[in-house]
Amino acid sequence: MKYKHIKKERVFKNEHFSVYEEDLILPNGNKVRWTFLKNYRTVGVIAFTPEGKLLMVKQYRPALEKEIIEIPAGLVDPGEDVEKAAMRELEEETGYKAGKMTKVCEYFRSPGVSASMMYIYHAENLVKTRQNLDEDEFLEVLEFDKKDIDELLKTPLDGKTIYALNYTKSYLIK
Amino acid sequence: MKYKHIKKERVFKNEHFSVYEEDLILPNGNKVRWTFLKNYRTVGVIAFTPEGKLLMVKQYRPALEKEIIEIPAGLVDPGEDVEKAAMRELEEETGYKAGKMTKVCEYFRSPGVSASMMYIYHAENLVKTRQNLDEDEFLEVLEFDKKDIDELLKTPLDGKTIYALNYTKSYLIK
């Protein structure tokens, strides 16, 4: 289908976000104004400790006004290699360095408003190092037995985590 | 962990988006300014035709500047019941009315920036009615054989669709 992109402008920007509006010509000839968000790349990591425990992080999410449990994750820095970012985020958040990192999947997080991508990795051959959080970052590392994943799936989760836990159930703990 | 929410203000608004900034006191006493997006509720629907074909929609996504294949989906209207929205979106986009709608999962789409939720439903007992798109909405309905889901999983997909296809593989087509 033929869409024509006409003119894009940034209508808002702060430290964390940019919002863009763009004029589009639709296949029926109608002109509409669309809104986009700046694109980000995010990594999430499925990782088991040498003792066979699944590493998760519990953190307060101001937008939810509560704590939820997630897989270790974070933003890829501008220009950073995605696999390196997965390595870095796992070590910063949990204090484990991975010897091997394999991409499990990648997907568009919200294709209606941005080209932001999520990359999910499976980390293997973990070695204990140390956690290295930013001064203003607070999270608690949790370790789950494989048998407790079904219980974890009944708690409030986010998209990357629900995907990762289902993937773990289907492919990693058979 | 103790976070204190201080003062929230809207810093941008257009027809599609609102951006908020809020002052927060962190557990270490530091004050930071956080950015939030307005919350939305989205439904996605896993549905097989009476002939056993998986219903998918192909549409141009301006943010990606290309077409991708997704499960039927859309926004829940303000005040609308989520299950009714799943029924409505399935019928509007594909021209099939479901006799039964079962929630498969729900998750936070992007907990770092909003409390927006995704609800994925499994629709059953489909009856052909007719597609009912908005004037400015363009999409192509595709029907996939169960055996083609693995091929579909190799194409560029979004989060709800990759979740839905994996769920379908694990639980609906055994």
pLDDT at B127 over 90: yes
Domain boundaries, chain B: 4-37, 41-172
pLDDT at A42 over 90: yes
Residues A75-84: tens digit of each pLDDT: 999 999 999 9
pLDDT at B1 over 80: no
Side-chain-side CA neighbours of B2 within 13 Å: the count stands at: 4
Per-residue confidence (pLDDT) for residue B149, from 0 to 100: 96
Using pLDDT thresholds of 50, 70 and 90, give the confidence band for residue B169. very high
Q: Is B19–A21 a contact, with Cβ atoms under 8 angstroms apart?
A: no
ipTM > 0.90? yes
Average pLDDT over all residues of chain A: 96
CA distance A11 to chain B (A): 9
Side-chain-side CA neighbours of A167 within 13 Å: the count stands at: 21
Helix or strand holding residue A84 (H, E)? helix A82-94
Q: Is B26–A166 a contact, with Cβ atoms under 8 angstroms apart?
A: no
Residues A123-139: tens digit of each pLDDT: 999 999 999 998 888 99
Q: Is A158–B110 a contact, with Cβ atoms under 8 angstroms apart?
A: yes
Per-residue confidence (pLDDT) for residue B76, from 0 to 100: 97
Residues B101-117: tens digit of each pLDDT: 999 999 999 999 999 99
Within 8 A of A158 by CB-CB distance, chain B residues are 107-111
Could you tell me which of B80, B158, B167, B138 has the C-alpha nearest to residue A170? B167
Q: Determine the angle formed by the axes of helices B159-167 and A159-167, rounding to 10 degrees.
A: 30
Judge: domain A41-172, CATH 3.40.630.30. no
CA distance B127 to B90: 11
